[in-house]
Amino acid sequence: MRLFTGCLHPASGEEQGNMTPQWLCSIGPGQGYIRTFRFPEDLEDDSTTFNPEYSHQVFGDDEVAFGYKGLKILLYYNAGNLSTLFRIEYTSKVNENFDCVEADDVESKIRKIIPPGFCTSTDDFVSLLEKEVNFKPFGTLLHTYSVHNEEAGEDITYQIYQADMTCPGFREYHERLQTFLMWFIETASFIDVDDERWNYFLVFEKYNKDGATLFATVGYMTVYNYYVYPDKTRPRVSQMLILPPFQGEGHGAQLFETVHRYYMSSPTVLDITAEDPSENYVKLRDFVLVKLCQDLPCFSSEKLMQGFSQEMVTEAQQKLKINKQHTRRVYEILRLRATDMGDPEQSRGYRLDIKKRLIGPYKRVQALIKKGQGCHNQVPAYGVCASPAIGTSPLGTDPCHQYLRRNNKKQRELAKMRRCLRPEELTNQLNQIDLNMQHEQLEESFQQLVSDYRRVLERLAQA
């Protein structure tokens, strides 16, 4: 696997103020410098290179390095145990007489996130590649599946394992594995591996070379087991990453479903959640949970058309460890499948059912304002305040929050009103704009949801 490689392009002088453009190198997205390798001959194959999506956590918000020409970062990984090669190369570097400004210490910045023990010599790295045949996955095998590879014209086998820090060598392997987070998750951070409440789930490709069986790292997930009084736990997904060469092949869904089934079998698990899920994660969760729920009796077409029920909540929680909020979203997706949107009556019933749920944040905001909580300059804007009374919709579709997030002008106007108006004046102003804003944003949110739900159903039909 190759993370960084190749020369980094000079950054724009206009964007960097007075810094001399010729000494600035962009290290942001689009600059390929990560590679993974299976065999020594892969060193000549640039197709193994993939680009980081983020580098600001290493190089700052500007994502540039100052003081070099022809800067090249080499960050190479063995495909299996992720043994690492790291070094930087450049054609020239500013000296100490350059306006008393020193070059950025690129090497030390990257050293902060990769564990010690990496090699800097290509020959040493090749010798490690030759030992890949000895690498075996850590932990307990949970699931084996295959994916057809059109290019190779054959099915490729993948396996998912559950591991912990008691597995020999896993701690060191995880230290290398987690470095990928910094390049592919925007707000990534390393976890406390000494906390025994962490579980680790790993995906590997199983392949053969010269009669030997080898394994390549595909991705992983970390889950933290929270205590729930009096005798339950609530597993919360913290990190999930499928490496770029394997994305778009269904490995995320396989990993998610395998982990979910792993916890479903435990009588002490209450339900399964996720920490600050991304939009892509929510879409993945939708697909897997709908797949699991669609055959439950409570989600029959007849019962779906009767509306969301406590029976659905209870059955999904008891049989599949799905919480109420996620069950509601599953219901909305399955009801869309059961609804004839060409039938005016069925279409109207579905629309009203969804909008009734979407309008909740508006009502909470208005209720909070009418109660006059806090001084007038602290009245929360729609869904933006971190107050638990408002927050963001648990389904990620808070119409007020989305509206303001997409409309900076409205945010500034409402912020100004909160500063300048007394509570009763603010209430009057908000009442005047509220209806128009509700109708506009509710319809926009509804159409976006239907579009997202249809994509889930299309993928489900192809599964």
Residue type for 307, please?
Answer: G
| Angle 238-239-240 from CA coordinates, rounded to 5° | 135
DSSP letter (8 states) at residue 296: S
CA distances from residue 358 to 211, 437, 450 in whole angstroms, order as listed:
58, 13, 13
Residue 193 and residue 242 in contact, taking contact as beta carbons nearer than 8 Å: no
CB atoms near residue 88 (< 10 Å): 18
CA dist 180 and 172 (Å) reads 14
Q: How far is CA 273 from the centre of its chain?
A: 14
CA dist 312 and 299 (Å) reads 7
Closest CA to 421 of 325, 100, 413: 413
Q: Let me know if 15 is a catalytic residue.
A: no
Output the six-digit token pair for 286: 């939708």
Catalytic residue among 275, 425, 440, 458: 275
CA dist 299 and 314 (Å) reads 12
**Neighbouring residues of 196: CB distance < 8 A, sequence distance ≥ 6:** 164, 165
CA dist 138 and 77 (Å) reads 18
Residue 441 and residue 355 in contact, taking contact as beta carbons nearer than 8 Å: no
| Angle 275-289-229 from CA coordinates, rounded to 5° | 50
CA dist 385 and 355 (Å) reads 22
**Neighbouring residues of 34: CB distance < 8 A, sequence distance ≥ 6:** 1, 2, 3, 4, 5, 49, 50, 51, 52, 75, 77, 183
Residues classed as catalytic: 275
